[in-house]
Amino acid sequence: MADKIRVLLKEEEVNARISEIAAQVSRDYEGKCVHLICILKGGVFFTCELAKRLTVPVTLDFMSVSSYGSGTVSSGVVKIVKDLDEPLENKDVLIVEDIIDSGRTLAYLIEVLKQRNPASIRLCTLLDKPERRVKKQVSVDYTCFTIPDEFVVGYGLDYDQKYRNLPYIGVIEQ
């Protein structure tokens, strides 16, 4: 049976907020080239929408890490499934994530990427669920939306690999 999905953030709302964040990023990186690291697969829709709206030069790379099994509960295990193609030496890196939940994925990733000597490293997320944070040291530089502790899908986010393609952010009704 098809899942019933309640809309939490409409497509227009999400896009308007991404435009605001893009303007802020463009101001902050004035005179620089921003190296976006898209965290696959969830970050892909947000990365595209953000990148299109940036007015500073942009380069892009992709990384895939896993911290979840097929359900909705964190396994606590972070693994690099696909590494970056390019070195990070002297680059102004902006990590682009779909959602920060426990913070385990990002806490690990930031440590790994820092060792590759980027000029700077910042974090940009579409959604943040601060109530669920386990790794308190993860500081987010750009957040589009802070949301309550609910499992969300759409705009890149999945439930068992489904619903990434929804143009809005929704909650699966039980």
* Nearer of residues 34 and 105 to Mg ion, judged by Cβ: 105
Could you confirm whether 101 is annotated as catalytic?
Answer: yes
Nearer to ligand IMP, 56 or 78 (CB): 78
Q: In this structure, how many other beta carbons lie within 10 angstroms of the beta carbon of residue 49?
A: 19
Regarding 74 and contact with ligand IMP (CB under 6 A), the answer is: yes
Burial of 25 (0-12, 13-18, 19+ CB in 10 A): buried
User: Which of 140, 126, 134, 151 has its CA nearest to residue 42?
Assistant: 126
Spatial neighbors of 12 by CB under 8 A, at least 6 apart, are: none
| Nearest-approach distance from CB 161 to Mg ion, in angstroms | 12
- Would you say 168 and 11 are in contact if contact means Cβ atoms under 8 Å apart? yes
Alpha helix positions (H), the chain:
11-28, 44-53, 104-114
Quick one: what does residue 152 bind among Mg ion, ligand IMP, none, with the CB cut-off 5 to 8 Å set by partner type? ligand IMP
| 103 near Mg ion, judged by CB under 5 A | no
> Which residue's CB is nearer to Mg ion, number 29 or number 46?
46
Which residue is listed with tokens 């990384």? 63
- Among residues 61, 85, 98, 101, the one annotated as catalytic is 101
Site for ligand IMP in 136-155 (CB under 6 A): 151-152
68 touches, from ligand IMP, Mg ion, none (C-beta below 5 to 8 Å by class): ligand IMP
Residue selected from 42, 103, 118, 154 as contacting Mg ion according to rule CB under 5 A: 42
| Interface contacts to Mg ion, rule CB under 5 A | 42, 98
